[in-house]
Amino acid sequence: MWDFEQCDPKRCSGRKLVRLGMTKLLRLNESFGGIVLTPTATCVLSPDTDRQLMHSGGIAVVDCSWAQLEQTGFKKLKFHHGRLLPLLIASNPVKYGKPFQLSCVEALAASLYILGEHNQATEFLNKFSWGHQFLTLNKQRLQSYAKCSTSKEILCCQDRFLEQITRVDSSNTESYADIYAELDNQILADSSSSQCSSSSEDFTEQRTETHSPTDSNFGQQDSTVIEGEEINKVITKQIDTLVSSFERTKLFTECGKNWDRFYKRNGVRFFKDRHWTTHEFTELSSLHNRTPRSLLEVGCGVGNFLIPLIESMLSISKAGIDIAEESCVSKTNGISRIYACDISQRAVDILDERLKEFPVKCNAFVCDVTKTYSLKAALSSLNSVSDQEFNNAEHGVDLVTLIFVLSALNPQEMFTCLCNVASVLSPGGRLLFRDYGQYDHAQLRFGRGSRLFADRPSYVRQDGTLSYFFTKDELANLFSNAGLSVHRLHFVHKETRNVAKDLCVQRVFLQAVCEKPAS
């Protein structure tokens, strides 16, 4: 492998293979006589002729950044047998769902598979928690390419797969973030039949019943035998290779730093704005008809929840319409105070910049909600009142949102987070909650070395951020122990499909509305 050192060596799949002794690092001026997988090649891999070349000379890969191809000094490399790989879909966390843009290990494994070395391809991929997903995602393509004999046959085969993509939408290349966007669109389209929005509930109405989950067999024992067995195998593999206690402690300690790095790398590009929230939570959709109320978003990130809500309340688009501030205030009379907090200073800074285009005041601040009383102390300081004064309805918050936030915490600190939320809610104030449910597609994508505990479905992503997958009973107990009464708690099951990429993504979420008792 030649390495142009354009990637983080700690996260580079090629560098990991070098550390494991599975591949050798070449000097940039060192020649190589075997097959070289490089984006500058003009010839596609040819099974019949390249198989012998592989056995005699081996396979090399060029490690560089896809974003810096034009600045990469490929001319420094000395080789004679450059090869291109046919259409394949990346499964690594950075380029998930992208065609052609494979990581080093994906490229090596793909070439080995096409040239008949299936076991060795699997061995390479098994060193990565997400590796098995590459074979699953590209099963049909890899099997078809492996049956070909010449480059011409492989190109014909590739054309058929490209035609499938073209029929759906060749201009829309999906990343993992785009899958979430597709889900958001589905939720928006289906919201009229959603259990949450089936009635126009008054904000002050007292209700005590808990909704039952929607019917679905996904992930349950009464599901099909094959599906249940596959889930059990994945979970067992995850439990057999847990993260070490040292790494686990380090991850919990550096949670804020990891999110800062995440937003430094992705900015506003990763998560899509959530335009479905007012359809799913009637408490939000009816705000403009109510007495002015206060809103706090916990885990605001870069404003993917808050910005669409403000746009909705102002009745303007992202492009903006010049209107008087007094007019804006009248249109947002459903919200008197807006707060937003996040553990990442970088995320808060980005949100502040995005909010400048709206004539609405929002207090965004950094807060670690896993620290006892941290949320009340921060809000008390912003309002220049004491902690005792903040307990009354005048200074408390009427609505708190916790959207895909609790799952990103240390499981042992989730209760503290909910206690913090309860401490700032006004009597009768409500918590709007949504997060991942057990056996969601995201959970089953995790591989070896990603699970933190054997008895709890807590995971670490490649970027160091955390994820957790809840059961309904577990959440109900957490809410109750934190002093919140549950008004609604139910599953949301979704299935997103991408025919062109052979993706069928099963999504499982839990959604809840809780209230702080008046007494």
Which stretch of DSSP H or E encloses residue 83?
strand 78-83
Structure tokens at 357: 């285009």
Structure tokens at 5: 């050192």
Q: Choose between 144 and 495: higher pLDDT.
A: 144
pLDDT-derived band at 457, boundaries 50, 70, 90: very high
CA separation for the pair 519, 456 (Å, rounded): 34
pLDDT at position 357 is 81
Domain 176-515 part of CATH 3.40.50.150 = yes
Predicted confidence (pLDDT) at residue 150 exceeds the cutoff of 50: yes
Q: What is the mean pLDDT of the chain?
A: 79
pLDDT at position 381 is 85
Lowest mean pLDDT among 23-32, 200-209, 360-369, 506-515: 200-209
Predicted confidence (pLDDT) at residue 399 exceeds the cutoff of 60: yes
The annotation status of 375 as a binding-site residue, yes or no, is no
Within its chain, how far is the Cα of 281 from the centroid?
22
pLDDT-derived band at 208, boundaries 50, 70, 90: very low
CA separation for the pair 403, 432 (Å, rounded): 8
Query: Cβ(400)–Cβ(406) under 8 Å?
Result: no
Q: Classify 397 as helix, strand or coil.
A: strand
pLDDT at position 385 is 58
Predicted confidence (pLDDT) at residue 177 exceeds the cutoff of 60: no
Question: What are the tens digits of pLDDT across the range 105-115?
Answer: 999 999 999 99
CA separation for the pair 397, 1 (Å, rounded): 57
pLDDT at position 189 is 46
Instruction: From residue 346, give the alpha-carbon distance in Å to each of 302, 342, 352, 370.
Output: 9, 9, 10, 19
Question: Cα-flanking dihedrals φ and ψ of residue 430, to 5°?
Answer: -125, 150
Q: What is the mean pLDDT of residues 123-150?
A: 90
Q: Choose between 449 and 75: higher pLDDT.
A: 449
Predicted confidence (pLDDT) at residue 54 exceeds the cutoff of 80: yes
Q: What is the mean pLDDT of residues 500-506?
A: 66
Q: Classify 94 as helix, strand or coil.
A: coil
Query: Cβ(76)–Cβ(30) under 8 Å?
Result: no
Of the candidates 470, 440, 337, 343, the one whose C-alpha atom is nearest the C-alpha of residue 393 is: 337
Instruction: From residue 231, give the alpha-carbon distance in Å to each of 6, 234, 281.
Output: 37, 5, 31
Phi-psi region of 58 (alpha: psi -120 to 50; beta: other; left: phi over 0): left
Predicted confidence (pLDDT) at residue 60 exceeds the cutoff of 50: yes
Lowest mean pLDDT among 97-101, 175-179, 241-245, 380-384: 175-179
Lowest mean pLDDT among 43-47, 213-217, 367-371: 213-217
The annotation status of 13 as a binding-site residue, yes or no, is yes
pLDDT-derived band at 225, boundaries 50, 70, 90: very low
CA separation for the pair 165, 159 (Å, rounded): 10
H-assigned helices in 21-130: 47-57, 104-114, 118-125
Q: What is the mean pLDDT of residues 312-316?
A: 64
3-state secondary structure string across 417-481: HHHHHHHHEEEEEEEEEEEEECCCHHHHHCCCCCECCCCCCEEECCCCCEEECECHHHHHHHHHH
CA separation for the pair 187, 65 (Å, rounded): 35
The alpha carbons of the chain give a radius of gyration, in whole angstroms, of 26
Structure tokens at 410: 């240390």
pLDDT-derived band at 281, boundaries 50, 70, 90: low
Could you tell me what percentage of the chain is helix, strand and coil, using 3-state DSSP and rounding each to the nearest 5? 40, 20, 40
Q: How much is the pTM?
A: 0.58
pLDDT at position 326 is 39
CA separation for the pair 54, 59 (Å, rounded): 6
Within its chain, how far is the Cα of 340 from the centroid?
20
Q: What is the mean pLDDT of residues 2-31?
A: 84
pLDDT-derived band at 48, boundaries 50, 70, 90: confident
Predicted confidence (pLDDT) at residue 462 exceeds the cutoff of 70: yes
Predicted confidence (pLDDT) at residue 300 exceeds the cutoff of 80: yes
Please count the other Cβ atoms lying within 10 Å of the Cβ belonging to residue 399.
Answer: 22
CA separation for the pair 508, 442 (Å, rounded): 9
pLDDT-derived band at 417, boundaries 50, 70, 90: very high
The annotation status of 384 as a binding-site residue, yes or no, is no
pLDDT at position 129 is 83
pLDDT at position 113 is 94
pLDDT at position 478 is 97
pLDDT-derived band at 252, boundaries 50, 70, 90: very high
DSSP-derived letter for residue 153 is H
pLDDT at position 207 is 33
Q: Domain residue spans in the chain?
A: 2-168, 176-515
Predicted confidence (pLDDT) at residue 198 exceeds the cutoff of 90: no
Predicted confidence (pLDDT) at residue 356 exceeds the cutoff of 60: yes
pLDDT-derived band at 334, boundaries 50, 70, 90: low
